[in-house]
Structure 1
Amino acid sequence: MVTKRILLFNGSQLSAHLWRNGRVNAEREFLPHADGPDGFSAFATYLHQHRTSHFYWLADVTEESFQLEEIPYVQGRDRTALITRRLKQHFYNTPLTTALSLGRSSEGRRDEKVLLAALTRPDPINAWLDFIRQNDIVLVGIYSAPLILAECAPRWLDDKQPTLLISQTINGIRQSFFDQGKLQFSRLTPLTSLNTLDTGITKIAQTIASESIKTYQYLVGQRQLQPKKSVRVVVLIPAAQKLAVQTQCQNQELLEYDFLDLETIAQHEKLKLPPNTLTSDPLLMHRLVTNPPAQQFAPPAERHFYRLAQIRLALTAIAIITLVSGLLFAIKTAFDTAQLQQETRTAQSQTVLATQRYNALLDSLPKTSITPENLRALMTRYESLQKRTAELIPLLTHLSQALDAMPQVELVNLDWKVETTLNAAMSNAQKVLSPSLDGAGVTVHSFVSAPGNPPANINASSGSWATLTIRAQLPIGLAANLRAQKQLIDTFVQRLENPQTKVQLLTMPFDIESGKPLKSIQETDDGRSESASTFSLMIARPL
């Protein structure tokens, strides 16, 4: 944890204080001379002893100035450049300047209101800052009592109306004017003696009453207050001085006094205030360390080592976060690994049990001469045969329905096969029919399409086919009527045809070749038919 120290400067004297655990403890006091136990050399030694601490410079001086300005509402670099130019115009002889935004105006073009502030006597401060630079001390910033009050006083006052806050410091009585919860003006009235509890308290009370009237008149003259308008005056005072101050500060026509206990505010701010504390300096220093104001007076060069400390802190935080993330990831990985190992052991145990049950089942089966490998190959071949086994029921059902519809056609012979292609089925069917039909005096014709249909492109067909080669005969009464025979065969073929079934005529009961007289194949030379006319066809369906 970084140690935090406050350097309180009152214009002529510098006092060092240590902040720790809500307490502000005085350590050393230094005077602006070269030699001696409390001079510049002692201050340099003190800085060297505490070079790892972060130092806050708090100035409570009368050499300060405030200017209210309205600037066009701009942002970014333009706003920074505009404010810098205004600061140089008003405070050209000091680099210790800053600006507080007071919000935007509600009228006109709604310009931004800013309070320009400066410490107008930088030389006494620079004399001490030289030793801070030489020892590479981390200077957080240069602050003033008004900057701290601008941050915390609106919450204490709890009022948006114009209010004058009176506070007591080691260097005098400070009057700070607030309007709409924003600091508008602040001034310090020095006091020569604040350490006595008798005459000092009376003098303090009289000073508070008189300075309240003077500040009111000044604000009216600066047109920050309307004439003859009453103002609330809040006095931040310790309980030991409250009665004396109330006696001197009576309500008037234009001033309405209210009182805040210093001890109550300190307790609210979680400050462990030492007993018999008469000034608000410990409260201001505590607020400075715990909640530093956003604005301060130090130029960027004075805060160089503080910026480096911030970068170092950020890198350290990133490293810690990375380390913690890595540790958490390692813990999670170790946990997941242990869980996977447990699951692996469980799976191995289950595998052993399953193997034992499998072997027990094998031992309980009847002994066979075939090995498991041969049995597996046999089952594979059996499954292959099962896949190639044709389902003839749909094809036979279709043929049966066609025969039932045409009783004139009588089935003589039926042969079924499974062929790889339709072309092979045609070739095999003709080979089978040729010997039997030649012996019967029947000529086997080439491929003939069904009536009304073009010849099928058998080469385009692929895959296995279930085929039925059918031989049927016609009624004997139609033996002499070739036209009736052809019509009956064509009708039978049309009944067999559907989108899933291919029907091809193989033989006809009469010769239809060109160049020969149209006559029945079974007809004798004298023109008589000796038997019923027969024909053959093939129906096929893809598997």
Structure 2
Amino acid sequence: MISSLRSNFSSARRRALCIASDGVSLYQWDKGSITDAFVFDVDDVGLANFERYLGETPKVPIYLMVDVVEEEYRHENIPHLYGSDRQAVIERKQAWFFRGTPYCHVMMQGREAEGRRDDKLMFTAIINPDIVIPWVRLCTQNKVALAGIYSLPILSASLLAKMKVTSNDVLLVTMQGSSGLRQSFFNDRILKMSRLAKLPRLGTVPFAPYILRELGKFERYLTSVQLLKGAPLDTYILAHGETLDQLEQACRNTETVRYHLLDVADVARRLGIHGVLTTPFSDHIFAHLLLRTQPKNHFASNEERRYYTLYQTRAGLYAASVIALLGSALWSWFNLIDGVSDRQLARDAEKKAVFYQARYDREKGRLPPTAVSPADIKTAVDIVDTLTQHKAAPLGRMEVLGQALAGFPILRLEEIQWTVSTDPQAGTGAATPQVPPVPDTGQATSYYEIAEITANVYPFDGNYRAALDQINRFGEVLRSKYQAHSVTAVNLPLDTRSSAQIRGDTKDVSIPEKAAFSVRVVFGAEHANG
């Protein structure tokens, strides 16, 4: 049956479903704390009531926690591997230890200090999956997001951290109303072993003698498996009321055991749980820890968590949409402010323009009349400035050409035609550059000085190859040493183009005294003359 049923489900944002052998409790997270439990029986009626509950409530995520006797633990060392090799070894160990259950979990617990430093692992599993499967199946059928399946003993480590326990060997003892007496042993705050024992019904018999008897059994077991190695065992027991009073009278510290008795209500208050707990049971504390910390999944498969993945995706898209909407609104507000500011600046600029135009017209009216308008005078002045800036004399370039020709005695100058233009190709036909132009220096070229050189090779012995080589070297010197923009051959002693026709008289074997040629040299105005 369902106890303490309420109708106000809409405020819950996540829920904890705690499965035990005697009942299933469901807690809802509301405004930073949990509500009273909804209890379902572990039978067909309880499953039917749970299904009805899922159908009548919002589909907020469920965190499923298990506290049953059928949870086993195995410790094993494996080689220190990575990636798929490590996963394959772990899966093989799980299949060997726990056959027939999909609910397995492995925890890394350090490495060996000596030898090959193997990894120390603890394997745990719910060996009777039928305890969990019916409840998980109902969540899946109702498309409720299952965040994960969790182990209460593993979750106990976070309780030790909240209680700021720093002892090496710790035995944490808690009582749960629907499962019993849970005893979890930690070494260096790492879970090593846990045991669940049945408890008599509250109020029927004194709890203290029964608890101490069960603790004695577990301590002897820990000693037999060499988990206790002589250091004192700090035993933390959570209880309340009459049970706590009985334990205070019965517990006596020894050389091997030190007892620390804690009131459940004080621990709950330290964890921020609202209200006062009036029973010795810690069910509320673990449900609160689970929903507040929201740890990583222990046992659930990806298939069982698929609706939770969709829930997270939907929540992420919603958050991204809200952020995008707020960003757009903020951007629109800034644009509006900028628009208003720009409009005000435009108005101010317009007022200034009107003001200065009026002053200009007034001052212009005071001037004596002239035959030429001020605008035309400004244009004429600008033209004069431009001509002054771009005037050029050939003397500097003549010196450059003279220095270049001095290195080639057989090249005799006959004529130079010098021009200035803003177009480096001015006055050219389809001439082919003899050497490549100088690479761009990054300076702006305002105009070009162009020299059309007519010269000849003298004396000429009929060796056209040598003559062409001298001309090419002359052009290369102009380009590399004197930074010519381009050197272009206009006429050569011998036309070497593939399209040229060879003409002559085979009977005429005379050799001319000189081989005439002409080149076009272009200098950029950014290069200094000489």
* TM-score, normalisation: structure 1: 0.66
5+ residue gaps, structure 1: 391-419, 423-454, 464-541
Superimposed CA distance per residue, residues 280-303 of structure 1 (whole angstroms, 9 cap, x where no aligned partner): 110100110111232412222221
Answer yes or no: is 1:221 the counterpart of 2:224: yes
Code of the residue aligned with 2:112 in structure 1: it is S
Out of 319, 323, 326, the residue aligned to residue 324 of structure 1 is 326
Distance 1:18 1:321 in 2: 28
Q: CA deviation at 1:379?
A: 4.7
Deviation sequence 1:52-98 (CA, Å, 0-9, x none):
12112122211211111111222333333322221111110221111
Deviations 1:108-147 (A, max 9, x none): 2221111111112221322333322322221111212112
The 5 A counterparts of 1:145-164 are: 145-164=152-171
Separation of aligned partners in 1, 2:364 and 2:201: 111
Question: Residue 20 of structure 1: which of 30, 36, 48 is its match?
Answer: 30
5+ residue gaps, structure 2: 1-10, 396-411, 421-528
Q: Distance in 2 between matches of 1:302 and 1:185?
A: 27
Q: What whole-Å deviation, never above 9, does each CA across 1:248-296 have from its counterpart, x for those lacking one?
A: 1111232111223323322232221434142111010011011123241
SS at 1:192 equivalent: coil
Indicate the residue corresponding to 1:141 in structure 2.
Answer: 148
Pick from 153, 163, 175: which aligns with 1:168?
A: 175
Answer yes or no: is the 8 Å Cα contact 1:100–1:295 preserved in 2.
Answer: no
Alignment RMSD (CA, Å): 3.1
Compared with structure 1, are the counterparts of its residues 421 and 234 closer, same or farther at alpha carbon in structure 2 (3 Å cutoff)?
A: closer
Question: Residue deviations 1:321-356, cap 9 Å, x none?
Answer: 322332222222222222222222222222111111
The corresponding residue for 2:240 is: 238
Which residue number corresponds to residue 110 of structure 1?
A: 117
Q: Number of residues paired by the alignment?
A: 396
Where 1:7 maps in the other structure, the secondary structure is strand
Q: 1:107 to 1:273 in 2, by over 3 A?
A: farther
Partner residue, 1:122: 129
Partner of 1:73: 80
The corresponding residue for 1:60 is 67
Query: In 1, distance between residues paired with 2:390 and 2:201?
Result: 120
Partner of 1:519 in structure 2?
A: none
Q: What residue identity is the alignment partner of 1:15?
A: S
> Partners of 2:180 and 2:223 in 1: how far apart?
23
Distance 1:70 1:324 in 2: 53
Letter in 2 for 1:216: E
| Structure 2: distance between partners of 1:287 and 1:377 | 86
Measured against aligned partners, the alpha-carbon deviations of 1:463-503 in whole angstroms (never above 9, x if no partner) come to 7xxxxxxxxxxxxxxxxxxxxxxxxxxxxxxxxxxxxxxxx
Return 320-329 or 61-70, whichever deviates more. 320-329
Q: Deviations over 1:495-517 (max 9, x none)?
A: xxxxxxxxxxxxxxxxxxxxxxx
1:99, 1:295 within 8 Å by CA — same for their partners in 2? no
- Which residue of the partner structure matches residue 211 of structure 2? 208
User: Per-residue CA shift, 1:197-252, capped at 9, x if unaligned?
Assistant: xx65xx222223222222111011111112x5431112223366433211111112
**Corresponding position of 2:307:** 305
- Residues 51 and 135, structure 1, Cα contact 8 Å, conserved in 2: no
Q: Which amino acid aligns with 1:233?
A: T
Deviation at 1:40, TM superposition (A): 2.6
1:187 and 2:195 aligned? yes
Q: SS state of the match for residue 276, structure 1? A: coil
What is the Cα deviation at residue 377 of structure 1? 5.6
| Equivalent runs, 1:320-469 vs 2, <5 Å | 320-376=322-378, 379=381, 459=416
Per-residue deviation, 1:369: 4.8
Show the counterpart of 2:489.
Answer: none
Distance 2:391 2:218 in 1: 116
Aligned to 1:280: 282
Within-5 A mapping of 1:480-491: none
Paired with 1:243 and 1:249, the residues of 2 have a C-alpha distance of 10
C-alpha spacing 1:315/1:385, structure 2 compared with 1 (3 Å): closer
- Aligned mates of 1:73, 1:388 — CA distance in 2: 80
Q: Aligned match of 2:186 in 159, 170, 178?
A: 178
Shift of 1:160: 4.5
**CA contact 1:165–1:233 (8 Å) conserved in 2:** yes
Cα distance in 2 for partners of 1:259, 1:276 equals 16
Percent identity over the alignment is 28
- Quote the Cα distance in structure 2 between the aligned partners of 1:84 and 1:389: 89
Distance in 1, Cα, partners of 2:94 & 2:61: 28
- The letter for the 1-side match of 2:212 is A
**CA distance in structure 2 between the partners assigned to 1:421 and 1:123 by the alignment:** 105
Shift in Å at residue 27 of structure 1?
A: 4.6
Cα distance between partner residues in 1 of 2:64 and 2:197: 21
- Give distance in 1, aligned partners of 2:92 and 2:383: 99
**Counterpart AA for 2:41:** L
Distance 1:293 1:387 in 2: 79
Q: 3-state SS of the aligned residue for 1:300?
A: coil
Is contact 1:273–1:282 with CA below 8 Å preserved after alignment?
A: no
> Which stretch of structure 1 is more off in the superposition, 204-213 or 246-255?
204-213
Q: Residue 266 of structure 1 corresponds to which residue in structure 2?
A: 268
Letter in 2 for 1:17: Y
SS in 2 for 1:302: coil
* Counterpart secondary structure, 1:62: coil
- 106 and 57 in structure 1: CA distance in 2 versus 1, 3 angstrom threshold: same
**Contact kept in structure 2, 1:235 and 1:258, CA below 8 Å:** yes
Partner of 2:15: 5
- Relative to structure 1, is the Cα distance of residues 381 and 161 closer, same or farther in structure 2, using a 3 angstrom cutoff? closer
Give distance in 1, aligned partners of 2:127 and 2:31. Answer: 34
What CA distance in whole angstroms lies between the structure 1 residues aligned with 2:237 and 2:391? 110
Letter in 1 for 2:184: S
Preserved CA contact (<8 Å) 1:98 1:116:
yes
Asked if 2 retains the 8 angstrom alpha-carbon contact of 1:154 and 1:182, the reply is no
Aligned-pair CA distance for 1:21: 2.0
- How far apart in 1 are the matches of 2:419 and 2:303? 91
> Aligned to 1:338, what secondary structure does the other structure show?
helix
Superposed CA offset, 1:347-366 (max 9, x none)? 22221111112112112323
TM-aligned CA deviation for residue 185 of structure 1: 0.7
Please report how far the alpha carbon of residue 376 of structure 1 lies from its aligned counterpart in structure 2 after TM superposition: 4.2
- Give the whole-Å Cα distance in 2 for the aligned partners of 1:12 and 1:330: 60
Distance (Å, rounded) in 1 between the aligned partners of 2:63 and 2:124: 18
Contact 1:168 1:174 (8 Å CA) reproduced: yes
Contact 1:147–1:293 (Cα < 8 Å) also in 2: no
Letter in 2 for 1:323: L
Q: Who is 2:95 aligned against?
A: 88
The TM-score normalised by the length of structure 2 is 0.68
